[in-house]
Amino acid sequence: MPIIVNLDVMMAKRKMSLNELSDKVGLTLSNLSILKTGKAKAIRFTTLEAVCSVLECQPGDLLEYIAEEGK
């Protein structure tokens, strides 16, 4: 998939664990884990807003587009 989720990078920069982020954002560990591993098919804007607020970042810090070769 050409959309890369850099949630783990931002969490590392902020020295925040998945448990801590889960508590602050109000999402389950399993949902955050799916997002972190890039297995999510979609993300709600409210979720993106909450994560950005807690991590003090922009949506572009979390999501990256990389074109697939040959397309």
- Strand bridging mode 63-65 / 3-5: antiparallel
Which pLDDT band, with edges at 50, 70 and 90, does 1 fall under? low
Measured CA distances, 57 to 12, 21, 27, 63 (Å): 13, 13, 18, 11
- Whole-model pTM: value is 0.88
The per-residue pLDDT for 69 is: 80
Mean pLDDT of the chain: 93
pLDDT digits (tens, 9 = 90+) for 21-42: 999 999 999 999 999 998 999 9
Query: What number does CATH give the domain 3-65?
Result: 1.10.260.40
Share of the chain above pLDDT 90, in %: 89
pLDDT value at residue 60: 96
State both tokens at 60. 């572009």
Contact 7, 36 (CB under 8 A): yes
What confidence tier does 2 reach under pLDDT thresholds 50, 70, 90? confident
